[in-house]
Structure 1
């Protein structure tokens, strides 16, 4: 039943040889990996305007040069990550760049920041999409957590079905959003230049004395939230069809071009239309309303905008499992993140991402607004470290034309570092936890690797000298009575060795006498040892007896505790049985020289 339901949800298992068919072409990759970056058009300009409104309506003129500054930083990031793609074609992005050029701990800082950022991306995107829905349908506001969780579940299942299938389903809404925004921009520009818009637009001369450099920098850093997700392509190079690095680089350039055109278009229209941010209506909604009125096109744009905010989380579903794979490959995360699932995706990474982001939504009750600064800072820390790592790489290798690349990375590093510092100084009350959480994540990474290295040291053998130690075997069979399962267990034990003892724990003389009499009558050819328990405990006398046997036979025999256990026909019946055997097994796991074995006996009713 469970197997059939699993097949229904995620489809048939795929052979390892089919993995090439799961690779993405440029158009599908653009939809899967750029949904986070492209969706930021819906709120990037608005974040700039919200900060500038602190200086009054006339300060909104500065949204244009600030947007151009964001566009310049986007260009630098695109050029930088394009260089990263060709320098590190195996993927990993900021983690690999920082680890190889700045040291392991710096690489872990970049990798940990990105992993946390991807979790926040899913939580924030699902909540933002839910807010768009509840704004249109206020009656659903009380169900926002359920709506967010449903969307996370949908994306998790879609990605478990395989990256190609999820790309095919999710490409349509992503491209609909791109087309609708370009229709909005072109229509808005035409309407503005044909005199269809009459708005009070602030001019430069009225704003110079009303705004500080600090406020401009704060607005710039807020606008840079539009750059989240830019690094996803460089992390996910293994998902591309061959030649992977060329296809990834082309996809990155396409994403940057589309994102830049949409962002500057929305910013210009917001300025030309004299739009101020409002708690009741988004900037994109105001532009669409002013351009088309509240007709079909307006509601279509609002609908696909809400949808893309949901689907922004899908970028994280593509990048998180691959980054977790890279970290697991270097032994900084559990090996389970290296395992491909039935549909050839890194299903453990996908499931963990879905669960952790769902927990965030539940903890914050669907209101993740306070996570946005942490979410943005989690992007700019890897941005800065990646740029710095590439700077070090150019200085070390000095390839042909390296100076120009070095300058690009230097400008990018200084800009992203400045933005990170602005976030720290202006929103410390919201992001202070990162200074405790990231060191803790890095500590977990280091402890995980140390454990794997210690385990490898203890398991490693010398092929020339280390041979199996041949010893005898003493088998102890705990029993609660004379049953079919005991008969089967004793038969198996005697097939392995003649040194078999059955152990029974009794609570009073009457029980013990009855058991000894029945055993003598049955005569299975196995010695019965009876232990009296004055305190009605079964586990403690058994453990004490096993310790005694272990001490006496440690040099000559292996000690095996063979636990009889019957398997019920229905899963729910299992909770009615075998509790003592489970406890005994749990206690014996801590004994270094004791082998634990189970003989199952299957019930038919």
Structure 2
């Protein structure tokens, strides 16, 4: 039953040879990997205005120069990450750059920050998408968390179906969003220029007495949330068709141009229209309503905006599993993240990302503003480490034009470091938790690595010296009575070894006497050992008996515990029976030098 449901939801299993067909071209990759960055247009300008409103309406003109500064930072990041793509065409972004140039600790900080950032990406995107829906339909405001969780489930299923299939479906609304926003910008500019709307903007260049440098830096750092997701292309180069690095670099450039145009356009319209940030209606909703009224075009723009905000999470679904794979390959995350699922995606990474982000949405009650500062800090730390790592690389290798490349990455590093520090100082009350959570993540990486190293050391053999030891086999069969299940197990045990004993644990003298009499009458050719349990425990007496046998025979024999177990025809029927055999197996499997096996007996009806 589970298999049938899985096939309907996810699709047929794909052969490993089909992996190359799952690679992305530039247009699909632009949609999937840029959705996070492009969606930030929906809230980047709003974050700037929210900070400036503290100083009053007259201070909103500062949003224009602040947005131009954010645009300049975008140019630096695009140029810097194009260099990273060509230098590290295998992907991995900041993690690989830091690992290669800055050492283990820096790479784990970068990797941990990116993983946390991708979880926050899904949480922020689903929350922001919900805000767009509730702006158009206020009656749904109390159901924000449920709407966000439904969309996370939808994205999970889409990505479990494979990269190509999800890209084909999700690219449509993403490109509709780009077209809609540029249509809104062009229409808004024409309406403003032709006097179709009354000028409501505060006078540009007006001195506002209560605007401080601290406030401007805080607004700038808030606007930099529009740059989250820029690094995703460099992380996911293996998802591109060949030549992968060229296609990735072209995709990054296209993303930068589209993002920059939309961001500055929305900011200018917000200033010209005199938009004030509202707790119940987004900035884009206000601009669209003032430009087109409350008609069909307004609802189309709100609809595609909600979609892009939801689908922005797809960037994380593309990048998180790949980064988790690389960390797992280096033994810093569980090996389960290296396994490809039926549709050739890293399914465990996708599912883990969904569960973690859903938990965040529930904890923060779907409040986007509470998540964005954490989200932005999580991405600017890897930004900075990536730029620093590239600086070290150019200094070490000194390739052609290395001085120019060094200057570009130095400017990028100083800028992103400044933004990180601004975030920390201006929004410490909102981001302090990352200074607790991130060290915990890095510590977990170290503990996982140490475990894998210790495990490898204990499992490693010298093939010139270490040889298998030949021993006998003493088989112990725990029995609860005389049944076909027990007979089946004894029959199998006799094919393995002549040293077979059955063990019965009784709770009272009467039950023990009856079992001994029936066993003697049956006479299966196997000795019965009877143990009495005063506290009605089966595992305690059985453990002590195994300890005794192990002590006597460990030098000459292996000890095998064969557990008889019947298997019901229908899954629900197993609930009607006690699970003693399962508990026994779970308990005994941890024993040193004891083999535990289950001998199944299938019931026909």
State the TM-score, normalized to the length of structure 2. 0.98
Alignment of 1:112 with 2:101, yes or no, is no
Contact map agreement 1:562 1:597 (CA 8 A) in 2: yes
Contact map agreement 1:114 1:378 (CA 8 A) in 2: yes
1:286 Cα deviation from its structure 2 partner: 2.3
The aligned counterpart of 1:230 is: 230
The aligned counterpart of 1:303 is: 303
User: What CA distance in whole angstroms lies between the structure 2 residues aligned with 1:557 and 1:445?
Assistant: 40
The aligned counterpart of 1:162 is: 162
Contact map agreement 1:486 1:564 (CA 8 A) in 2: yes
User: What CA distance in whole angstroms lies between the structure 2 residues aligned with 1:280 and 1:558?
Assistant: 71
For 1:296-324, what per-residue CA distance to the aligned partner results, in whole angstroms no more than 9, with x for missing partners? 22221111111111111111110100110
Alignment of 1:371 with 2:371, yes or no, is yes
For 1:430-478, what per-residue CA distance to the aligned partner results, in whole angstroms no more than 9, with x for missing partners? 1111111101000111111111111111111111111110000110111
1:513 Cα deviation from its structure 2 partner: 1.8
User: What CA distance in whole angstroms lies between the structure 2 residues aligned with 1:398 and 1:313?
Assistant: 38
The aligned counterpart of 1:23 is: 23
1:101 Cα deviation from its structure 2 partner: 0.9
Equivalences for residues 424-439 of structure 1 within 5 A: 424-439=424-439
1:204 Cα deviation from its structure 2 partner: 4.3
User: What CA distance in whole angstroms lies between the structure 2 residues aligned with 1:535 and 1:276?
Assistant: 73
The aligned counterpart of 2:563 is: 563
Question: CA 1:535/1:284 → structure 2, altered by over 3 Å: closer, same or farther?
Answer: closer
Contact map agreement 1:503 1:530 (CA 8 A) in 2: yes
The aligned counterpart of 1:74 is: 74
User: What CA distance in whole angstroms lies between the structure 2 residues aligned with 1:572 and 1:468?
Assistant: 43
The aligned counterpart of 2:14 is: 14
The aligned counterpart of 1:135 is: 135
Equivalences for residues 383-402 of structure 1 within 5 A: 383-402=383-402
User: What CA distance in whole angstroms lies between the structure 2 residues aligned with 1:370 and 1:282?
Assistant: 16
Equivalences for residues 207-246 of structure 1 within 5 A: 207=207, 209-246=209-246
For 1:373-406, what per-residue CA distance to the aligned partner results, in whole angstroms no more than 9, with x for missing partners? 1111101111111111111111111111111111
User: What CA distance in whole angstroms lies between the structure 2 residues aligned with 1:262 and 1:205?
Assistant: 23
User: What CA distance in whole angstroms lies between the structure 2 residues aligned with 1:596 and 1:205?
Assistant: 79
Contact map agreement 2:64 2:268 (CA 8 A) in 1: yes
1:19 Cα deviation from its structure 2 partner: 0.6
Which secondary structure state, in structure 2, belongs to the residue aligned with residue 7 of structure 1? helix
For 1:106-134, what per-residue CA distance to the aligned partner results, in whole angstroms no more than 9, with x for missing partners? 11101101111111111111111112222
1:572 Cα deviation from its structure 2 partner: 1.9
1:367 Cα deviation from its structure 2 partner: 2.7
1:209 Cα deviation from its structure 2 partner: 4.6
Equivalences for residues 295-334 of structure 1 within 5 A: 295-334=295-334
For 1:333-385, what per-residue CA distance to the aligned partner results, in whole angstroms no more than 9, with x for missing partners? 01111111100111110111111111112222323431211111101111111
Contact map agreement 1:539 1:580 (CA 8 A) in 2: no
User: What CA distance in whole angstroms lies between the structure 1 residues aligned with 2:368 and 2:61?
Assistant: 30
1:590 Cα deviation from its structure 2 partner: 2.6
Contact map agreement 2:92 2:236 (CA 8 A) in 1: yes
Deviates more, 1:48-57 or 1:30-39: 48-57
User: What CA distance in whole angstroms lies between the structure 2 residues aligned with 1:142 and 1:20?
Assistant: 45
Which secondary structure state, in structure 1, belongs to the residue aligned with residue 592 of structure 2? coil
Equivalences for residues 70-469 of structure 1 within 5 A: 70-207=70-207, 209-469=209-469
User: What CA distance in whole angstroms lies between the structure 2 residues aligned with 1:140 and 1:198?
Assistant: 32
User: What CA distance in whole angstroms lies between the structure 2 residues aligned with 1:291 and 1:51?
Assistant: 25
The aligned counterpart of 1:586 is: 586
**Stretches of 4+ aligned residues off by more than 6 angstroms:** none
Contact map agreement 2:61 2:205 (CA 8 A) in 1: no
Q: How many residues align?
A: 605
Question: CA 1:359/1:205 → structure 2, altered by over 3 Å: closer, same or farther?
Answer: closer
Contact map agreement 1:33 1:318 (CA 8 A) in 2: yes
Contact map agreement 1:61 1:207 (CA 8 A) in 2: no
Deviates more, 1:301-310 or 1:82-91: 301-310
1:208 Cα deviation from its structure 2 partner: 5.9
Contact map agreement 2:113 2:438 (CA 8 A) in 1: yes
Contact map agreement 2:471 2:558 (CA 8 A) in 1: yes
Which secondary structure state, in structure 2, belongs to the residue aligned with residue 34 of structure 1? helix
User: What CA distance in whole angstroms lies between the structure 2 residues aligned with 1:516 and 1:211?
Assistant: 92
The aligned counterpart of 2:39 is: 39
User: What CA distance in whole angstroms lies between the structure 1 residues aligned with 2:550 and 2:518?
Assistant: 28
Question: CA 1:201/1:132 → structure 2, altered by over 3 Å: closer, same or farther?
Answer: closer
Question: CA 1:498/1:269 → structure 2, altered by over 3 Å: closer, same or farther?
Answer: same
Contact map agreement 2:505 2:542 (CA 8 A) in 1: yes
Question: CA 1:411/1:351 → structure 2, altered by over 3 Å: closer, same or farther?
Answer: same
CA-atom RMSD, angstroms?
Answer: 1.4
Deviates more, 1:278-287 or 1:404-413: 278-287
Question: CA 1:546/1:287 → structure 2, altered by over 3 Å: closer, same or farther?
Answer: same
State the TM-score, normalized to the length of structure 1. 0.98
Structure 1 unaligned blocks of 5 or more: none
Contact map agreement 1:361 1:368 (CA 8 A) in 2: no
For 1:46-95, what per-residue CA distance to the aligned partner results, in whole angstroms no more than 9, with x for missing partners? 11122122222222222111111100000000001111001110100011
Which secondary structure state, in structure 2, belongs to the residue aligned with residue 19 of structure 1? helix
Which secondary structure state, in structure 1, belongs to the residue aligned with residue 495 of structure 2? helix
For 1:250-282, what per-residue CA distance to the aligned partner results, in whole angstroms no more than 9, with x for missing partners? 000000000001111111222222323233332
User: What CA distance in whole angstroms lies between the structure 2 residues aligned with 1:391 and 1:226?
Assistant: 25
Contact map agreement 1:35 1:314 (CA 8 A) in 2: yes
User: What CA distance in whole angstroms lies between the structure 2 residues aligned with 1:285 and 1:134?
Assistant: 11
Contact map agreement 1:24 1:240 (CA 8 A) in 2: yes
User: What CA distance in whole angstroms lies between the structure 2 residues aligned with 1:280 and 1:270?
Assistant: 16
Which secondary structure state, in structure 2, belongs to the residue aligned with residue 206 of structure 1? coil
Deviates more, 1:44-53 or 1:506-515: 506-515
